[in-house]
Amino acid sequence: MIFVAKTTDVLIIGGGITGLSVARALSKYDVSVTLVEKEADVGWGQSKASHAVRHPGARWAPGTIAQQMIAESNQLMAQLIEDLHIEYKKTGELVLAFSKEEVASLNIMKKQAESIKVGGLEIIGKGEIRRLEPNINPAAVAALYMPTAGVFNPFDLVSAFFENARENGVRMLMDTRVIGIVFEKNKFIVETSCGEIRANYIVNAAGLFAEKVARMAGAEDFHITYDTKATCLILDTLLGDIVQHIVTAPNDPKTFLRYKLATPTFHGKLLIYTSFSEPAKGIEDRAVSKRVFDATLKSAETLIPDVDFERHVVASYAGLTARNDRGDFIVEASRKYPAFVHAALPPPGITCSPAVGRRVVEILQNNGLGMTEKTNFNPYRTSIGSLIKSTPAQIEALVREDARYGRVVCRCEKVSEGEIIEAIKRGATTLDGVKFRTRAGMGRCQTNYCGPEVTALLARERNLGVEDITKKGCGSNYIH
């Protein structure tokens, strides 16, 4: 990889939603910004493993940084969704209670949400629950109804921030792993797998690796734990309308299944999720064991009984969540180096991303970074044209403009050659990069039919041999 420049005002380490939100916030100002990401594409850490819920804030206690960030972000998000064409569906959320103790928990959650002025909150009884969601477990005695909740397409959210920040001048360096950091003569000298970068300021948005990155600079102010593995199962569209709302239950820290969720996805599938207290085998542990798979199905059955979930599972994935020893968000300058800013977030990073970006900008300004607003900042981004989201008239217009939109490559998700080519132009270099931008390969066949053709398109557009195309970066070649 050849760097455009090896010096930068601000170096952001980490290309998840946190790093990208900081990148976009900084791209409004006349400063040089570089983002490095160790993976082949952005959003492949915690962001990829997220269940992509936009939380109203009821689960976080008043006074926490997390609740402040949720409240601020929910005020900012509507404009961002419009400006960046972010794929989002407002569904509302029902938090079910199955006992008197859990009803008491609902009332606490309601008060916590009211403290940040969340509107429309209501504790509803059995009859209203059944009216809203006929398939919900009839044993639920009450529910907290939160109409402002919703679901994102997490990959589109990440892409939107990435594309807009890059459009506004942020240098994005993929496949670039940070190896060491030295502070010398008021600059950080950062050794990476692709060369040396000198930066005046660093934003540590490395997620699970945030403590490791901080330790490289001697700026460790916290401890990251990763003992909670988040496991998600995606079920096909036949179950996509079994619930219309995000359906959850109060957290129970005394049980193996601490948090359970069933939600429609933005694209009409069903996602079921649970978190586990068992320790992970390592920071890269993303395996879904049979025990965890079965427990996730069982947790969904407590919310929606009498459904054969297993028969409809399309995909399963797991990820670790970067919790810390403070039990809250960490968005602050290092005590040792004021120019080294931590942005270490446990869930829900997706919900909080806009406010975190804004807060980091404030910290950098307060610690001496001169920032003048750009006169030519472009706040807008358009999404990739899509057959599956278009009306017949819109499809006709797409094909008229580019005939490649008339040729379907992924039959499961109805993704055209035109969409895949556009995704490659916007930064997709791998099969997963195309999949996350277009959904090619996310259907029932899981790339068995479309995989070879997407590989051929990547090779053609990138002027490479098909043997050089990978699923997700180095060591994952599609053709061996």
Active-site residues: which are they? 55
Q: Which of 211, 160, 162, 200 is nearest to 37 (CA)?
A: 162
Task: Indicate the burial class of 5 (C-beta count within 10 angstroms; 0-12, 13-18, 19 or more).
Answer: exposed
Token match 């209203």: residue? 128
- Calculate the alpha carbon distances from 269 to 18, 186, 311 in Å: 26, 51, 14
Alpha carbon separation from 102 to 33, 113, 221 (Å, rounded) = 47, 16, 36
The answer to whether the beta carbons of residues 97 and 137 sit under 8 Å apart is no
- What is the 3 state secondary structure string of the chain? CCCCCCEEEEEEECCCHHHHHHHHHHCCECCCEEEECCCCCCCCCCCCCCCCEECCCCCCCCCCHHHHHHHHHHHHHHHHHHHCCCCEEECCEEEEECCHHHHHHHHHHHHHHHCCCCCCCEEEEHHHHHHHCCCCCCCCCEEEEECCCEEECHHHHHHHHHHHHHHCCCEEECCCCEEEEEEECCEEEEEECCEEEEEEEEEECCHHHHHHHHHHCCCCCCCEECCCEEEEEEECHHHCCCCCCEEECCCCCCCCEEEEEEEECCCCCEEEEEEECCCCCCCCCCCCCHHHHHHHHHHHHHHCCCCCCHHHEEEEEEEECCEECCCCCEEEECCCCCCEEEEECCCCHHHHHHHHHHHHHHHHHHCCCCCCECCCCCCCCCCCCCCCCCCHHHHHHHHHHCHHHHCEEECCCCEEHHHHHHHHHCCCCCHHHHHHHHCCCCCCCCCCCCHHHHHHHHHHHHCCCHHHCECCCCCCECCC
Hunting for tokens 């978190």 — which residue is that? 275
230, 41 Cβ separation under 8 angstroms: no
Q: CB under 8 Å to 292, separation ≥6 — which residues? A: 229, 231, 276, 318
